[in-house]
Structure 1
Amino acid sequence: MKTLFKKYLNTFKGLSQEIWWLALITLINRAGTMVIPFLSLYLKEDLSFSVSDVGWVMSAFGLGSVAGSWLGGKLTDTLGYYKVMVRSLLLTGFLFIALQFLHTFVSICIGIFVVMLVADSFRPAMFVALNAYSKPENKIRSLTLIRLAINLGFSAGPAIGGLIITGLSYDGLFWVDGITCILATIVMVNVLHPKKAKVLDDVKNENPVSAYSDKAFLVFLVAMTLFGIVFLQYFSTITIYYKDVHFLSELEIGILLGLNGFLIFIFEMPLIKWLENTKYTKLGLMFYGIVLTGLSLFILNLTNWSGVLVIGMLLMTFGEMVAFPFSNAFAVERAKKGNQGEYMALYSISFSIAHIFGHNAGLQMTAHLGFDNTWFIITGIAAICALILFGLNKNLKTQKSIKIWKTKKIS
């Protein structure tokens, strides 16, 4: 047991101090995003919105995310990642607090759009900061540590969120969300000043390649959008499914969602370190992760036993653990060819587009087709995503082989 624990700790060795500070800031920030998994329930239960209206609000959420990711990328390339991160975190805190005072359909749509516009401008800046503060050989593990912070926050967040709803009502979530964003800003300003930080991996390119001309990257983004549509069902449709079909309480839903973050905190870093040393490519590993995520929804139709919810959460969790770190690493690797902000903005936008269509499509399908048909359709989307990644991986392997052959021939 002692040896196993020591090996677990060794997976964290070699990461820079700045990466640990980024992880702490992300943990504080994400622990406060407990309102997001409960947003569809809040709109349906507390504000009495119809499922269809909830779907359109979630589309406004996605549109704000797209605009924020694009704006964040532009501002990162012009102002720098630090200024974008600080301003985004601080403004998001105040906007989350203000959001609870909106109650009409139109005002909620506008409010959600503005919150996500500001909040998601943080993401491209954070990815560029991570790339700058991480040694090249530690890139994937640095990304994984940030994800650990995100998921540790998410594991505590929903569980605490369920308690807050039970004790203080939904309004308490918005206060906690806002305050934690402000706290994250205070921590960042005090511990991660850019003048004190030592950039470990300067990847500025004097002749940058436009991300829009990188065909392989664009195909990858299509796959990531489809994967986002599948994955995001766990942040809107699935919570209503848990409540309406399996009659779980908000506290039980929070604990089940918290299981996801807890398992990632325990297993992801050792799993990623092991997978890094296998023969599989990043895209190849993402293929398996997406297959597992699709299966997590497919099995919900196989039985009415509530225990299947735990099995589904386990499949999704391990699928997420494999797919996300290597998709992040693939995007960061491609970003070295051009403007990092532009590449990482497009990577963030792929998930933001998923927010536009994923939540709304899932909720509209459940309202008109029922949950069983919805899970079959979403599983089909996961299968299409997996096939795209399989083809892209094969194509890039072929291109690499041809390039090596031509180099050998010239020499």
Structure 2
Amino acid sequence: MKKLFSNYAATFSGLSREVWWLSLITLINRAGTMVIPFLSLYLTQSLGFTLSDVGLIMVFFGLGSVAGSRLGGYLTDRIGYYKVMQWSLFLTGVLFVLLQFIKTLNGFCASIFFLMMVADTFRPAMFVALSSYSKPENKTRSVTLIRLAINLGFSAGPAVGGLIITTMGYQGLFWVDGITCVMATVLLINVLNPRKARVLDEVKVENPVSVYSDKPYWIFLVAMALFGIVFLQYFSTIPLYYKEVHHLSELEIGLLLGANGFIIFLLEMPLVKSLEDSQLSKINLMLAGGVLVTLSFIVLNMTGWVGILLVGMFFMTIGEMIMFPFSNAFAMERAKKGNQGQYMSWYSISFSVAHVFGHFSGMHLIEKVGFDATWYIVFGLSLLSGVFLLILKGKTKSNTVKKVLQFDK
């Protein structure tokens, strides 16, 4: 047991102090966003919106995320990641508290757009900060540590969120969300002062390549957007599936979603370390992760046994543990060619676009064709994402061959 723990701890070695602080800030912030997994339930049960209404709200959720990611990349390249993260966290906390007072459909659409625009300026800034505070050889594990913080917060958040709903109602979630964002801001100001932080890999490109001319990167972004549409069903239609088909309570839904974060907390870092050591390409690993997430939906149609929900969650969790660290590392590696804020903002936007189409289309589909048919359509989208990754693999191989030939000449 002692040797097992020592081996586990060794996978975290070599990461900078700043990455650990950034992870703690992310943990506090993520633990507070417990309203997001319950948003579809809150909108239908507390505010009485239809599934189509919820889908429309989720479109504005995604549009705000697109705007915020783009704005965050722009501001990061001009005023720096620290100021962007600081103001994003603080203003997001204020807006979460105010969101509980919005009761109309139009008001909620506008409010969720503005909230997500402010909140998602944080993401490109955080990715650039993470890249700056990490040695090149530690970037994938640094991303994994951030994901561990996110998922540790996510494992605690829904479970606590379900308890808060049971005892205080949905309004309590908004107050907790807001307070934790402000707490994360205070921690950021006190421990991650840019004057004292060590920059380990500050990349400055004299003549940066525009992201718009990087064709392989755009193929990658399309694959990520399609994958995001599939993955985000776990934050909109899947909770409804648990509730309406398997009749789970909010507390049980929170515990099941929380199990995902707990498994990631225990296993992701050792898994990523072993996959890094295997010398498999990032694209092959992304393909493997996508296959597992695809299986998580297919198994739901195989049986009505409630235990299949755990099987599906297990496949999704393992797939997610492979897909996100290596796709993120691929994006950061590519970003060294140009303005990092611009590159990482488009990586964030690929998932924001998934928010625009994923929630609305998922809600619309289950309303029109039911859950089983929806999962088969999701399966098709996942296959299409895999096709784009295979195209990307071919493109990057041909580019590598061209560079070798030019070098030989």
The TM-score normalised by the length of structure 1 is 0.99
Instruction: Output the CA distance in 1 between the equivalents of 2:92 and 2:25.
Output: 14
Q: Are 1:133 and 2:133 matched, yes or no?
A: yes
Partner of residue 287, structure 1 = 287
Partners of 1:328 and 1:100 in 2: CA distance: 33
Matches within 5 A, 1:241-252: 241-252=241-252
Instruction: Give the ranges of 4+ consecutive aligned residues of structure 1 lying more than 2 Å apart after TM superposition.
Output: none
Which residue of 2 is the match for residue 4 of structure 1?
Answer: 4
Residue 196 of structure 2: SS of its match in structure 1? coil
Q: Quick one: which amino acid aligns to residue 329 of structure 2? A: A
Name 1:325's counterpart in structure 2.
325
Query: What is the aligned partner in structure 1 of residue 214 from structure 2?
Result: 214
Counterparts of 1:78-97 in structure 2, within 5 Å, are: 78-97=78-97
Q: Which residue of 2 aligns with 1:67?
A: 67
| Alpha-carbon separation, structure 2, partners of 1:395 and 1:106 | 44
| Per-residue deviation, residues 140-163 of structure 1 (Å, max 9, x unmatched) | 100100010001000100000000
CA shift digits 1:61-92 (9 cap, x unpaired): 00000000000000101110000000000000
What residue identity is the alignment partner of 2:12?
Answer: F
Do structure 1's residue 394 and structure 2's residue 398 form an aligned pair?
A: no
Letter in 2 for 1:201: D
**Amino acid of the structure 1 residue aligned with 2:244:** D
* Residue in 2 that maps onto 1:225: 225
CA distance in 1, matches of 2:228, 2:221: 10
Secondary structure of the equivalent of 2:89?
A: helix
1:6-405 pair list within 5 angstroms: 6-405=6-405
Give unpaired runs (5+ residues) of structure 2. none
CA–CA distance in structure 1, aligned partners of residues 341 and 255 of structure 2: 36
Q: Give the CA RMSD over aligned residues.
A: 0.7
Between the aligned partners of 2:334 and 2:348, the Cα distance in structure 1 is 14
Secondary structure of the structure 2 residue equivalent to 1:37:
coil
> Percent identity among equivalent residues?
64
Gap runs ≥5 in structure 1 = none
Local SS of the residue matching 1:189 = helix
3-state SS in 2 of match to 1:156: helix
Between the two proteins, the alignment pairs up a number of residues equal to: 409
Structure 2 Cα separation of the partners of residues 293 and 90 of structure 1? 34
1:120 partner letter = D
Amino acid at match of 1:29: N
Give the Å deviation of 1:280: 1.5
The letter for the 2-side match of 1:178 is G
- Tell me how far 1:398 sits from its aligned partner: 2.8
Equivalent residue of 1:247, what SS?
Answer: coil
Cα distance, 1:394 vs. partner? Answer: 2.6
Distance apart, 1:395 and its partner CA: 2.5
Look up the equivalent residue of 1:13 and give its one-letter code.
S
CA distance in 2, matches of 1:237, 1:20: 34
